């Protein structure tokens, strides 16, 4: 993203008509937070901007921006001051619907104008914002631009406007006026859009980035006490310096760390954008692969009978919606390969089983098991990315292993690897989430990758059965333009350097996070990144690997 300066134009009078219209509307269909402060009351219908994440009550009037220079380390957050919650506004569009139906069918509509020309309008997916937020929230505060890459639909919305829908081209050199408008929308048998809820304007002007320093380009010295033997293998330092420069210039965006293990020894350890050796990286769906690991260990120890086991052995599926005998026979193999046959596809925004629809619910396992089966899918023959299925696998593990999934993983995996600093996210039921989000240091993720590279052995101990790694590193699907090779919650990837291809199996997570284990080369590569929700997140890592990292370290 280009860097630019932002000057904020705030005028309460310019939005008085919007505020008066909102005040005249009926309220009280569901209880909400109401008008929360004098600041809130004075700015009904306004959007204000801040460069910090402090609570609004801790900000003074002077903190609301009149000008703002955005650098690679900058944040820009918006606050929209509303008279009522979203559900109360949606009720006015269709009074016949219940609050639950309104939550499921409606959300906010955002419109982006540049120099008075409408460039982009988006109806936020109903899964954005939790049901509670939709019912109660009267101040809508989210990031648009975030150096810390806070996981918020606001960032993703801005990214879609800026990178994919004309924003970058329209906001070129010189001064331009950006206007943002927010309305409620409801999808019934037709699309209903309500009156203007809030609006704000900004003047934008480009600013040139700072030059890259020698310190930013320099290869970082590996510090003592890494827990790894340091490699003395030679590699192309010019290529790694060039890569560091690209990261510093923000041509490769939001990269946090790069670790290269060669022949079981630490060769390269680089950190960027405020990360360091102790940072616990949120690698998102990299955490899914740990469900595969623990399934293999649980089967080896007899807590599970095998991948042939079916869901009816763990759940009475007649208690869930859309029961069928086919659902009874969904196997652990199907969950491990994402070929279970549920109507669930995270790559299809409209899919009933899309993960964005799962997260706002109160029980993720129930969400998954309530889904119907897809009669058009050939179970076990084709796969679609299905986070909810991995959540079910995690729940099966949790109820099958002694002490539950989190305790069992610590005892059987993390302790043997010497990993003590980590953070699990949890489902609403308090179970360690296998949907993703497991946080560890880059060097600890490297231990996990090296464990697979060494056939499941760590310091002479067989932690994972070697046979399970062979089954995990098997491609169960024919590669087609519409289907990527896939194993047991590991991706199969061919990296190209010149005319040569190098096969790897890898964990992969939103933002560009990778644990890459090469099958024929003595390499394990870790990349952590925070480009969450960005279309360039994974492609830029593949370019880094093929143009810089692999050419630098291959013999």
DSSP 165-176: SSHHHHS-SSEE
Kindly tell me the burial class for residue 229, based on how many C-beta atoms sit within 10 Å of its own C-beta (0-12, 13-18, 19 or more). Answer: exposed
Distances in Å between the Cα of 391 and the Cα atoms of 97, 196, 206, 224, 336 are: 31, 39, 44, 38, 11
Q: Where in the chain is the domain with CATH 1.20.58?
A: 304-400
Residue 501: the pLDDT is 96
Instruction: Identify the segments of the chain with pLDDT beneath 50.
Output: 1-26
Count of CB atoms situated within 10 Å of the CB of 312: 14
Question: What are the phi and psi torsion angles at 255 (to 5°)?
Answer: -80, 135
Residue 27: the pLDDT is 52
Considering only CA atoms, which of 353, 321, 315 is closest in space to residue 435?
A: 353
What pLDDT, in 10s, does the model give residues 182-231? Answer: 999 999 999 999 999 999 998 877 776 678 999 999 999 999 999 999 99
Token duo for residue 54: 């402090």
Q: Which residues contact 238 (CB under 8 A, 6 or more apart)?
A: none
Q: Where in the chain is the domain with CATH 3.40.710.10?
A: 214-284+418-553
Question: What are the phi and psi torsion angles at 170 (to 5°)?
Answer: -75, -35
- Residues 535-544: contacts with CB under 8 Å, at least 24 apart: 535/159, 535/163, 535/164, 536/163, 536/253, 537/254, 537/510, 537/511, 537/512, 538/508, 538/512, 540/252, 540/253, 540/512, 541/512, 541/514, 542/495, 543/252, 544/243, 544/252, 544/255, 544/258
Q: What value does the CA radius of gyration of the chain take, rounded to a whole number of Å?
A: 25
Residue 66: the pLDDT is 73
Residue 9: the pLDDT is 40
CATH 1.20.58 fits 304-400, yes or no: yes
What pLDDT, in 10s, does the model give residues 446-457? Answer: 999 999 999 999
Residue 3: the pLDDT is 41
Token duo for residue 138: 């009267």
Residue 55: the pLDDT is 86
Residue 238: the pLDDT is 98
* The CATH homologous superfamily of the domain defined by 214-284+418-553: DD-peptidase/beta-lactamase superfamily (3.40.710.10)
């Amino acid at each position: 993203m280009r860097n630019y300066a932002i000057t904020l134009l705030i005028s309460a009078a310019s939005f008085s008509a919007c505020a008066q219209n909102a005040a005249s509307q009926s309220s009280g269909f569901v209880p909400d937070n109401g008008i929360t402060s004098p600041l809130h009351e004075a700015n009904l219908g306004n959007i204000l901007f801040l460069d910090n994440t402090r609570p609004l009550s801790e900000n003074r009037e002077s903190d609301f921006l009149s000008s703002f220079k955005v650098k690679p380390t900058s944040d820009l957050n918006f606050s929209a001051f509303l008279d009522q919650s979203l559900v109360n506004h949606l009720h006015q569009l269709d009074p016949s619907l219940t609050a639950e139906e309104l939550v499921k069918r409606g959300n906010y509509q955002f419109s982006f104008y540049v120099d008075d020309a409408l460039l982009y309008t988006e109806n936020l997916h109903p899964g954005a914002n939790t049901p509670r937020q939709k019912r109660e929230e009267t101040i809508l505060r989210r990031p648009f631009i975030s150096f810390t890459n806070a996981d918020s639909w606001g960032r993703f919305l801005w990214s879609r406007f800026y990178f994919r829908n004309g924003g970058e081209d329209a906001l070129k050199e010189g001064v331009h006026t950006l206007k943002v408008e927010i309305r409620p929308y409801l999808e019934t048998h037709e699309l209903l859009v309500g009156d203007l809820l809030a609006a704000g304007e900004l003047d934008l002007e480009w600013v040139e980035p700072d030059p890259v320093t020698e310190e930013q380009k320099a290869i970082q010295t590996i510090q003592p006490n890494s827990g790894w033997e340091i490699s003395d293998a030679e590699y192309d330092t010019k290529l790694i310096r060039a890569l560091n420069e690209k990261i510093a210039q923000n041509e490769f965006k939001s990269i946090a760390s790069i670790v290269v293990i060669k022949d079981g020894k630490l060769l390269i350890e680089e950190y960027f954008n405020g990360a360091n050796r102790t940072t616990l990286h949120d690698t998102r769906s990299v955490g899914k692969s740990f469900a595969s690991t623990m399934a293999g260990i649980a089967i080896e120890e007899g807590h599970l009978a095998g991948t042939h086991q079916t869901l009816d052995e763990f759940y009475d599926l007649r208690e869930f919606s859309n029961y069928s005998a086919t659902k009874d026979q969904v196997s652990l193999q199907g969950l491990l390969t994402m070929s279970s046959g549920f109507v669930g596809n995270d790559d299809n925004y409209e899919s009933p089983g899309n993960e964005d629809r799962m997260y706002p619910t109160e029980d993720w396992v129930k969400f998954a098991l309530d889904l119907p089966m897809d009669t058009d899918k050939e179970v076990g023959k084709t796969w679609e990315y299905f986070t909810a299925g991995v959540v079910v696998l995690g729940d099966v593990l949790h109820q099958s292993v002694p002490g539950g999934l989190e305790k069992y993983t610590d005892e059987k995996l993390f302790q043997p690897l010497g990993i003590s600093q980590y953070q699990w996210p949890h489902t609403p039921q308090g179970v360690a989430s296998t949907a993703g989000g497991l946080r560890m240091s880059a060097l600890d993720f490297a231990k996990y990758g090296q464990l697979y590279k060494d056939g499941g052995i760590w310091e002479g101990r067989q932690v994972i059965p070697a046979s399970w790694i062979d089954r995990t590193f098997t491609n169960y699907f024919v590669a087609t333009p519409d289907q990527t090779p896939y194993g047991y919650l590991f991706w199969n990837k061919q990296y190209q350097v010149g005319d040569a291809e190098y096969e790897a199996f890898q964990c992969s997570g939103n933002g560009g996070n990778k644990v890459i284990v090469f099958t024929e080369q003595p390499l394990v590569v870790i990349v952590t990144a925070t480009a969450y929700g960005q279309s360039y997140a994974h492609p830029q890592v593949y370019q880094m690997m093929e143009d810089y990292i692999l050419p630098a370290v291959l013999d």
